[in-house]
A and B are shown apart, each in its own frame.
Chain A
Amino acid sequence: MYKIVRKECLNPTVTLMEVEAPLIARKAEPGQFIILRVDEDGERIPLTVADFDREKGTVTIIFQIVGATTLKLNHLEEGDSIHDFVGPLGVASHTEGLKKVAVIGGGVGCAIAYPIAKKLHQQGTEVHSIVGFRNKDLVILEEEFKAASSKFVMMTDDGSYGDKGLVTDALKALLDSGETYDEVIAIGPLIMMKFVCKLTKEYGVKTVVSMNPIMIDGTGMCGGCRLTVGGKTKFACVDGPDFDGHEVDFDEAMSRSGMYREFERHAYEETCNLFQKEVE
């Protein structure tokens, strides 16, 4: 059992939890993920490591409430425990030798992009951050990103905060103004990563994306997380989750991510009803 030592609601649908997991905290690096089960019969879900504290022995996760399991997870409070918590899994993000990088986060993807921006900043890399959200109410980690970046651009779809538009608009503006990057790191919804990659391909800038396909074991057994990268089958759990964005088949990944949408919607509603009944 893994104790939740801190819980914080970052916005109405996104929650941060700091979890006691000393062995994982000792090894975790930005870009890696953990798999958790909320309770005894729970499903295994992968969540990217948002932060870690080696001395305190804690790992931080940030998740969006999108389905039954994240809803159940969100019902746990400080002092409660998560049944299973395993990691760190996947290959850490490659940051060595990078001098100037644009880090792009979309929505809750910012939770994954932030630790990478932080690591780059700490190692002396010049970081330009572009973060995008649907509207002002959904903004997370703004101060954290600002502290890790020499340039920071906030975008919202509706213009309620920062500039109105998409992260690709901001990136294009920076590239057109003459900024050059060793690498662009883009983490967010598949559709966002797809269009960032389309743009950077035109400009010839290497782009790394973090993929989060459906997974079960997360340790290289089930093959559920397979993706096509550069025409080859790759497994996000052991080969990734970071991949060369110009090689990833995003359309296929989007289609595969919809495999259980109906089931998930149904399970989410059932769980909502269950919690509702408890309240009544």
Chain B
Amino acid sequence: MPNMSLQKNPMPSQDPQVRNKNFQEVALGYTKEIALDEAARCLNCKNMPCVKGCPVSIEIPNFIEKVKEGDFEGAYQVIAKSSSLPAVCGRVCPQETQCESKCVRGIKGEPVGIGRLERFVADWHNEHAGEEAVRPQPNGHKVAVIGAGPAGLTCAGELAKKGYAVTIFEALHLAGGVLVCGIPEFRLPKSIVQKEVDGLKAMGVDVECNSVIGKVLTIDERMDEMGYEAVFIGSGAGLPRFMGIPGEELNGVYSANEFLTRVNLMKAYREGADTPIKKNQRVAVVGGGNVAMDAARCALGLGADTVYIVYRRGMEELPARKEEVEHAEEEGIIFKTLCNPVEVVGDEKGFVKGVKCIEMELGEPDASGRRRPIEKPDSEFVLDVDCMIMSIGTSPNPLIKSTTKGLDTNKHGCIVADEATGQTSRPGVFAGGDAVTGAATVILAMGAGKSAAKAIDEYIQNK
């Protein structure tokens, strides 16, 4: 008998007033009992609508069936057929707009907690399964992957499964990309990312850190001199954007990339860390996406008294996941919506002492279909803050584009690649993730890495 409860089982979480002072994971994960109860809500629909909502097409009802049977390792094996990073996706995928949005149970009541079940299964596997690395039979072909973020890791994993000798070249000293630089510990513990990377290494994937492609070696050298038959570029989003308003050069104005990299990759939240971060008391984060939520919650965790999200549209328009907005609100972050910075005010020593903002109202929908924010005349006011974090997007990194002949980019500087295959204007060169789309989600990057792996396999086999 299916469990006909209209609500999904809530996620056990750390208390908001405790977690806003630490960096431990907020969501604690389902227990075995809760997982069994939640799995029983799945109706195992024949036409599997949820799978169509998944960028990597995980056989969702099949893995949930295994959970119902109590065969958690079996469930993991079903997920692992389609996803290289289950423990990551179970945590950071926007399931509410993907698989769960298609769930029949969502028509009346809440959809099945697919993401939470995925996370449970992946964590169970990581805790219980003895890691027996299955090294696929080598097929004698070499592929280079640039960037060890979600797109690159997925592409590498898929190719390794098929027997390719894959080398990932990562610019930083640690693999993981946005999973280690951007997404904070409390949302995605770094030990989980490390485990996923170790899993790839156990399959035979070689990860070379400290390798900036375009600088130490170019793509042409990889292909011509080093015998890589194909290259996948998953180099990520790139340089942070600023607003171009007066005062952005003041000390205390960070890009979200810088702030989060200091906190996450460089562990600046730890007492005695070598990499400094200012412990600011009053912080304004500009922007309304997931990255803005992460930055705001990190600022709080670092000990700030007051943290604002400054966003030019309304609460309804916030691009961040609903769950992230709710977490931020519970932890005490103040949302200053319909509000836009016009100037950063500094003290005589060049440090931020306030942000001058102007109130906004929503007008007619613009080209993106969202209502255009318009400034309200004479509505300026100053937010009293000592730190401002700009989280308003990125523009592509120029390094690969400027050192790879014949690689086309669009007017924004993003690499032009076929949506279905990742094929670029250069034969044998594929690309996917934020380097192609501009800043998007982890799972979309993984989806691109996966389809590119399939296309690379076809390209090499048909050569």
Q: CB within 8 Å of B: which residues of A?
A: 23-24, 27, 37, 41-44, 68-69, 83-89, 216-217, 219-224, 226, 228, 233, 235, 238, 249, 252, 255-256, 258-260, 263-264, 267
List the B residue with the shortest CB-CB distance to A224: B258
Q: How far is the CB of A249 from chain B (nearest CB, A)?
A: 8
CA distance A224 to B251 in the complex (A): 10
Contact, CB under 8 Å: A223 / B257 = yes
Contact, CB under 8 Å: A221 / B397 = yes
Residues in A with CB closer than 8 Å to B275 are: 43-44, 216
Contact, CB under 8 Å: B261 / A221 = yes
| 11 further contact pairs, Cβ within 8 A, besides A85-B210, A249-B249 | A23-B216, A24-B216, A37-B173, A41-B274, A44-B173, A83-B173, A216-B262, A220-B238, A220-B399, A221-B240, A256-B249
A87-B238 in contact given A41-B267, A68-B274, A222-B261 (Cβ < 8 Å)? no
Contact, CB under 8 Å: B251 / A258 = yes
Contact, CB under 8 Å: A233 / B242 = yes
A259-B262 in contact given A44-B173, A220-B239, A238-B239 (Cβ < 8 Å)? no
Contact, CB under 8 Å: A221 / B181 = yes
CA distance A83 to B210 in the complex (A): 10
Residues in A with CB closer than 8 Å to B216 are: 23-24, 27, 86-88
Q: Does B62 contact A (CB under 8 A)?
A: no
Interface of A is mostly: mixed
Q: How far is the CB of B195 from chain A (nearest CB, A)?
A: 18
Interface of B is mostly: loop
Q: Which of A42, A216, A228, A258 has the most chain B CB within a 10 Å cutoff?
A: A216
CA distance A122 to B83 in the complex (A): 55
Q: How far is the CB of A234 from chain B (nearest CB, A)?
A: 10
Q: How far is the CB of A102 from chain B (nearest CB, A)?
A: 29
Chain B residues numbered 108-134 whose CB sits less than 8 Å from any CB in chain A: none
Q: How far is the CB of B343 from chain A (nearest CB, A)?
A: 16
List the A residue with the shortest CB-CB distance to B181: A221
The 18 sampled A-B contact pairs (Cβ below 8 Å) are A27-B217, A41-B274, A84-B173, A84-B209, A85-B210, A86-B210, A87-B216, A88-B215, A216-B261, A222-B258, A223-B242, A228-B249, A233-B244, A238-B397, A238-B399, A249-B249, A259-B251, A267-B276
Contact, CB under 8 Å: A44 / B266 = yes
CA distance A44 to B242 in the complex (A): 23
Q: Which of A27, A223, A224, A235 has the most chain B CB within a 10 Å cutoff?
A: A223
A43-B266 in contact given A88-B215, A220-B239 (Cβ < 8 Å)? yes
CA distance A88 to B210 in the complex (A): 10
Contact among A83, A87, A228 for B215, CB-based, below 8 A: A87
Residues in A with CB closer than 8 Å to B258 are: 216, 222-224
Contact, CB under 8 Å: B240 / A223 = yes
Chain B residues numbered 43-102 whose CB sits less than 8 Å from any CB in chain A: none
Residues in B with CB closer than 8 Å to A86 are: 171, 173, 210-212, 216
Q: Does B398 contact A (CB under 8 A)?
A: yes
Contact, CB under 8 Å: A27 / B276 = no
Q: Which of B210, B238, B254, B397 has the most chain A CB within a 10 Å cutoff?
A: B210
Contact with A along B272-294 (1 / 0, CB 8 A): 01111010000000000000000
Q: Which of B242, B254, B274, B350 has the most chain A CB within a 10 Å cutoff?
A: B274
Contact, CB under 8 Å: A226 / B249 = yes
Q: Does B236 contact A (CB under 8 A)?
A: yes
Contact with A along B360-389 (1 / 0, CB 8 A): 000000000000000000000000000000
Q: How far is the CB of A259 from chain B (nearest CB, A)?
A: 4
Q: How far is the CB of B347 from chain A (nearest CB, A)?
A: 11
Residues in B with CB closer than 8 Å to A235 are: 239
Contact, CB under 8 Å: A221 / B210 = no
List the B residue with the shortest CB-CB distance to A69: B274
List the B residue with the shortest CB-CB distance to A88: B215
Q: CB within 8 Å of A: which residues of B?
A: 171-173, 181, 209-212, 215-217, 236, 238-240, 242, 244, 248-252, 254-255, 257-258, 261-262, 266-267, 273-276, 278, 349-350, 397-399
- CB-CB nearest 3 A-B residue pairs: A255-B350, A223-B255, A223-B240
Contact, CB under 8 Å: B240 / A23 = no
CA distance A42 to B181 in the complex (A): 15
Q: How far is the CB of B185 from chain A (nearest CB, A)?
A: 15
Residues in A with CB closer than 8 Å to B217 are: 23, 27
Contact, CB under 8 Å: B240 / A89 = no
A219-B399 in contact given A41-B267, A41-B273 (Cβ < 8 Å)? yes
Contact among B172, B255, B350 for A256, CB-based, below 8 A: B350
Contact, CB under 8 Å: A256 / B251 = yes
List the B residue with the shortest CB-CB distance to A37: B173
Residues in B with CB closer than 8 Å to A217 are: 171-172, 181, 261
Q: How far is the CB of B150 from chain A (nearest CB, A)?
A: 15
Contact, CB under 8 Å: B251 / A222 = no
Contact, CB under 8 Å: B251 / A219 = no
Contact, CB under 8 Å: A222 / B350 = no
CA distance A43 to B270 in the complex (A): 13
Residues in B with CB closer than 8 Å to A252 are: 249
A222-B399 in contact given A42-B274, A233-B242 (Cβ < 8 Å)? no
Residues in A with CB closer than 8 Å to B209 are: 84
Q: How far is the CB of A274 from chain B (nearest CB, A)?
A: 11
Residues in A with CB closer than 8 Å to B278 are: 259-260, 263
A219-B212 in contact given A228-B249, A235-B239, A259-B251 (Cβ < 8 Å)? yes
Residues in A with CB closer than 8 Å to B274 are: 41-43, 68-69, 267
Contact, CB under 8 Å: B173 / A222 = no
Q: How far is the CB of A70 from chain B (nearest CB, A)?
A: 12
Contact, CB under 8 Å: B210 / A89 = no
Residues in A with CB closer than 8 Å to B398 are: 220, 238
A222-B210 in contact given A24-B216, A27-B216, A44-B266 (Cβ < 8 Å)? no
Contact, CB under 8 Å: A87 / B249 = no
Q: Which of B249, B273, B349, B399 has the most chain A CB within a 10 Å cutoff?
A: B249
Contact, CB under 8 Å: A263 / B276 = yes
List the B residue with the shortest CB-CB distance to A83: B173
List the B residue with the shortest CB-CB distance to A257: B251
Q: Which of A87, A221, A256 has the most chain B CB within a 10 Å cutoff?
A: A221
Q: How far is the CB of A44 from chain B (nearest CB, A)?
A: 7
List the A residue with the shortest CB-CB distance to B275: A43
Residues in A with CB closer than 8 Å to B250 are: 255
Contact, CB under 8 Å: A89 / B276 = no
List the B residue with the shortest CB-CB distance to A216: B261
Q: How far is the CB of A265 from chain B (nearest CB, A)?
A: 11
